[in-house]
Every structure is written in C-alpha cells, then in structure tokens.
A = this chain, B = another copy of it.
Amino acid sequence: MPDAGVADLAESIAAGERRALARGISLVEDEGPGFEELLDALHGRLGAARRIGITGPPGAGKSTLTAALVRHHVEEGLTVGVIAVDPTSPFTGGALLGDRIRMTELATEPGVFIRSMASRGSVGGLATATREAADLMDAAGYDRVLLETLGVGQSELDIAASADTTAVVLVPESGDGIQAMKAGLMEVADLFVVNKADRPGADRLESEIRVMMAIRGGNALEAIRSHHGARIDRPADTEDAGEWAKPVLQTVASDGRGVEELAAALDRHFEWLNGTGRLERRRADRRLRRARDALLRLAGGDVSRVWQNAPSQLSDRLRSNELSPYAAARELYESWRIALRPGG
C-alpha cells in the first residue's frame, strides 16, 4: 500500500503537474523511498503515450532531429516528453553551447517536458531507470515520449529496443554508418533516417541501407538489384516484422526538411503495430521482462545489504588475496540464505 507522500505524488503526476513529474523521475532515478510504490500506483494509467526511440552513432544529429520532431508534434497540438540518455547530447549538456541553448528554449514550451538521464552505477540501472521515467511521462499524459540514446553499446540498445518504434539515424560520409549498423542497430530499427541529407553521399547511404536490409531479409538477388539502382518497394525485412517494410527516409533536421515525413512514418508504424495486434503483444512481453527486472532489483538490494554488512575480515582476505572472489561470494551467499529466512 503506497504511503501518503507517494500516493499524493502519483496523483499530482497523473494530473499533469510538471514539478511532480520531475520529482517522480528523480525518485525513480535514485531508487528513492517508495519509488516502486509510485510506479505501481501509476501502472493503470500507462499505455496512451507512443514511445519512440531515436538512436544512432555520435554525431548523427539525433538531438537536432529530436528537437525538430518535438516542434512538429507541438504544432500538431500534441504534448511531448523527451528523455535523453546520450551523454554527447546537447540535452544532457554534452554538446556545443549554442545547441544546448536551443534545447533549453524548447524545454520551456508548454506541453514539452525534457529530461536527461545520467549514467548510474548499478548494473542495468540506466536502461531500467529510463524505461521507468518513460512510464511516468506516459502516466502524466504526454502523447509522445521520445527516447534519445546513443546507438552503440548493449545497454543503450536495450533502451532503444524498449520503445514502440525505433528510428535509427545515420549520416552520409561518416564512413562508419554501415560499420556501426553491425553493432546491433540493424536489429532495433523500425525505420532508418539518413540525416544531414544535404551532404553528398546521402543517396549512396540510403542505397547501402537498402542493400543491407535485403541481405538480412535473405534476398540476395534483390540486394544486388537494389545496389544497381532499382529501389526495393516491398518488404525487405522478413525476420520478425512480418509485412512491415522498414522505410529509409532522408532528413535535414537543422532546417526541418523531411521531419513531417518522418513523423508520418512513425505514425504509420505505430498504426501497423496496433492494427496487427503486435503492439499489445510487445507491451505484454515487456511487462513480463519488467517484472523480472524488478525481481532482480529486489534481489540486488539484498545483495547490497549483505555486501555492506560483510565482515571486515572477509574484505581483508580479499584484498590480501588469501581468498578468491568466488570463495568470498559463496561464503556471503550462504550467510545470506540464512538471513533471508522470512522474519529473519
């Protein structure tokens, strides 16, 4: 049963109070007292927001594209939450001052809520905290929740994969586009964006992406055809997306070119998910994974307590290398089993 403070906070978040939302996200990020009760209390209000992952290598212009999407949605009359987990993003203070100032301006718009997430010590902590921050924005009534993450690294890809729709952003002439794609980006993409498309090489990159998709889809002939100029206009990815053909779009986020088309493609993907029943299945699967993560976190809390209360002679023996880490862990584990007894 949530205590009064947490219940009040949940109510204020559900009522759309910005300061309550900010407080709630901090509580979740810090795993502060009552954070799980808060998430539990708001659980029934989830599901209205569309969660969109924007991911790609550093320098792809993800933040500028995110900002452009926010502006587009605001003009449509929608409310938007943004979570930036990219340490190189201007949202998180990681880029040039000019960019950061523009992002800060955006954050003062009514109907826009921007939050950056710092990397945390605990294993898997960042991905979990990010998903939970997205939950709070969802519960607070935001129509769209945009998750900007670096598309390199396992936990970062986990975040991207937690969205309903994930856009992978690449730039021409980076030379690393295709290389970076191999690092799992191909798998998480529901659509591709060739950003900074006013640079030379945009068409070539688009064509390379189509070739790679065709190869993944197992259609080598189509891959070769595509490489020789003929565009693929039917589904390239047949792995698990069924009849969804991953679009490849070109944008120039800095002047807004292609952003409307991107928003439309994101909407189309969401409608496809929803229409085919995949949305509900994906979200149900995610609830199961979330429960498992929550259980692991409860166990992790126990581990932390056991560790903090470990006898100092144990850490001395570890430091002096008398005891291996595995033997020490086994010793602590056994004592923990005893301590875990209900009522113990």
Q: Which chain A residues have a beta carbon within 8 Å of chain B's beta carbons?
A: 36-37, 39-40, 43-44, 57-59, 87-88, 94-95, 119, 123-124, 126, 150, 152-156, 174-176, 179-180, 182-184, 284, 287-288, 290-300, 302-303, 306-307, 315, 318-321, 324-330, 332-334, 336-338, 340-342
A177 CB to nearest B CB, Å: 10
A137 CB to nearest B CB, Å: 17
Provide a sorted-by-A list of 20 A–B residue pairs whose CB atoms are within 8 angstroms.
A36-B330, A58-B179, A94-B179, A94-B182, A119-B184, A126-B154, A154-B155, A155-B155, A284-B319, A284-B320, A287-B318, A288-B315, A288-B318, A291-B318, A291-B325, A291-B332, A295-B328, A295-B329, A295-B336, A341-B342
Give Cα A306–Cα B299 distance, bound, in whole angstroms: 11
| B175, A325: Cβ atoms closer than 8 Å | no
Contact of A329 among B59, B87, B294, B318 (CB under 8 A): B294
Q: Which of A40, A291, A296, A332 has most B Cβ within 10 Å?
A: A291
> A293 to chain B: which residues have CB within 8 Å?
325, 329
Chain A interface mostly = helix
> A307 to chain B: which residues have CB within 8 Å?
292, 295
Give Cα A340–Cα B309 distance, bound, in whole angstroms: 19
> A180 to chain B: which residues have CB within 8 Å?
58-59, 88
Given contacts A59-B174, A291-B329, 6 further A-B contacts (CB under 8 A): A44-B324, A123-B123, A155-B155, A287-B318, A287-B325, A297-B329
| A295, B154: Cβ atoms closer than 8 Å | no
Contact of A341 among B318, B329, B337 (CB under 8 A): B337
| B287, A58: Cβ atoms closer than 8 Å | no
| A288, B319: Cβ atoms closer than 8 Å | yes
Contact of A152 among B124, B152, B325, B337 (CB under 8 A): B152
Contact of A43 among B37, B288, B315, B326 (CB under 8 A): B326
Q: A284-B318, A299-B302, A302-B299 are in contact. Are A154 and B328 (CB under 8 A)?
A: no
Contact of A40 among B179, B296, B327 (CB under 8 A): B327
Give Cα A295–Cα B182 distance, bound, in whole angstroms: 33
